Amino acid sequence: MRDQANLPMPISNVMWVEKYRPNKLSDLVNQKDVVGSLKQLFKNTSELPHLLFSGSAGVGKTTAALCITKEILGDVWKDYTLELNASDERGINMVRERVKKFSRYAGLDGRIPFKIIILDEADEMTSDAQTALRRIVEDTAKYCRFIFIANNISKIIAPIQSRCAVFKFTTISEQEVISYLKEICKKENVKFDEKGLETINSYAEGDLRHSINMLQATASLGTVNESNVKKTAGLTKTKDAGQVLKLALAGKITEARNKMIELIKVYGMSESDFLKYMNRESYKIKNVKLSEILEIIAKYDYRVIVGANPEIQLSALLAELGKIGK
Ligand SMILES: Nc1ncnc2c1ncn2[C@@H]1O[C@H](COP(=O)(O)OP(=O)(O)OP(=O)(O)O)[C@@H](O)[C@H]1O
Ligand SMILES: [Mg+2]
């Protein structure tokens, strides 16, 4: 277990998963079949169907969707792409409003064939919401192409599936994960041994995002070898959230914030998980102000869910905890 005293790492705010996210389809690791058939479809862009990508976590679905939009729309891709998270609390009405607005704004001016809407985590939508979505897809078909992304394709209703070309992304093989991690180690000047990389792969099970995050977390401890990888993997995240809580209550806001950023940016803990873990840990702290702590956590949990900027909110949370700790 790593504690404050032996934290050797400079906190890196650059996440390697983002730094090394491929920009071109052809740079995707191990999705040869998918990439091959997608390229086939691109031969006649104007007839491109809607797309549905399925597959497990961290294998390149979102990355592929972004590569496609960049390849089709070129430099102006940002202006003509809408990325939505379908599992968003605000549901289908939010999706409908945003799609409507987006399809109205900035007409096609001949520079691009259509606008692209990426709907991530589409399998988290209820089937009612998906049915409503189907109408939206039809109404906007003239100007927009959808890319649906789902972990579990069986949760996507048939009428949507039948309107899409479906691509199944496979998990990344051990060999490919390892050689990809080696490339990153070389670029980042990180020392590693073969066994260390194998250990990462055995934890991550073909999830390249998880592998890269583990690599970055381990590299912050030193050489990427088996023992350091195990240390990283064994870090109990709940406990780390508890540590942030303790630091904040002790008024060490900057330290608490650094630790929190490390958890979120490097270890990939989601903001809401962070709050959940903090909530759990607060029962373990001998502090008479438990009810106040719980209320504060609940307040910021709500703010984050309704869409306020998480980094600002969580920093304010720490500051508020700091006040009651006094
Ligand atoms: N096939 C791949 N080739 C290269 N890098 C990849 C690949 N798959 C994943 N990665 C790396 O992992 C990160 C996450 O990938 P991505 O967001 O595309 O995963 P995903 O399949 O959409 O996962 P999820 O289902 O969790 O959303 C990328 O930023 C990239 O660094
Ligand atoms: Mg994704």
Domain, as residue range, for 294: 237-325
Do 96 and 40 lie in one domain? The reply is yes
| Res. 133: pLDDT tops 60 | yes
Query: Residue 77: which CATH number?
Result: 3.40.50.300
| Domain membership flag for residue 180 | yes
CB distance 68 to 53 below 8 Å: no
Give 5's pLDDT tier (boundaries 50, 70, 90): very low
Query: Residue 183: which CATH number?
Result: 1.10.8.60
For the CA atoms of 193, 194, 200, 202, what is the dihedral angle to 10 degrees? -150
The 10s digit of each residue's pLDDT in 171-186 is 999 999 999 999 999 9
Shortest-distance ligand to the CA of residue 150: 1
Distance (Å) from CA 56 to ligand 1 centroid: 10
CB distance 153 to 166 below 8 Å: yes
Do 70 and 89 lie in one domain? The reply is yes
| Res. 237: pLDDT tops 70 | no
Do 228 and 139 lie in one domain? The reply is no
The 10s digit of each residue's pLDDT in 282-317 is 888 776 688 999 999 999 999 998 888 999 999 999
The 10s digit of each residue's pLDDT in 65-110 is 999 999 999 998 998 999 988 766 557 788 888 888 887 765 666 7
In Å, the largest CA–CA distance within the chain is 67
Distance (Å) from CA 28 to ligand 1 centroid: 9
Q: Ligand 1 pocket test: which of 59, 61, 87, 188 has the largest number of ligand atoms within 8 Å of its C-beta?
A: 59
| Domain membership flag for residue 202 | yes
Structure tokens at 168: 């199944």
Do 187 and 211 lie in one domain? The reply is yes
Which of 168, 183, 208 terminates a domain? The answer is: 168
Which of 234, 252, 268 terminates a domain? The answer is: 234
Q: Ligand 1 pocket test: which of 18, 23, 35, 62 has the largest number of ligand atoms within 8 Å of its C-beta?
A: 62
Residue 3 or 108, more confident: 108
Do 83 and 100 lie in one domain? The reply is yes
Indicate the average pLDDT of the chain: 86
Do 44 and 116 lie in one domain? The reply is yes
Query: Residue 308: which CATH number?
Result: 1.20.272.10
Q: How many domains does the chain have?
A: 3
| Domain membership flag for residue 17 | no
Output the pLDDT for position 262. Answer: 83
The pTM score is 0.72
Do 79 and 68 lie in one domain? The reply is yes
Q: What percent of the chain lies above the pLDDT cut of 70?
A: 91
In 144-204, DSSP assigns E strands to 144-150, 164-168
Cα–Cα–Cα angle for 139, 90, 117, rounded to 5 degrees = 40
Residue 326 CA to residue 310 CA, distance in Å, equals 25
| Domain membership flag for residue 297 | yes
Structure tokens at 312: 């600002």
Ligand 1 cavity residues, CB under 6 Å: 17-18, 20-22, 28-31, 57-63, 151, 208-209, 212
Give 231's pLDDT tier (boundaries 50, 70, 90): confident
Distance (Å) from CA 65 to ligand 2 centroid: 9
Which of 234, 263, 286 terminates a domain? The answer is: 234
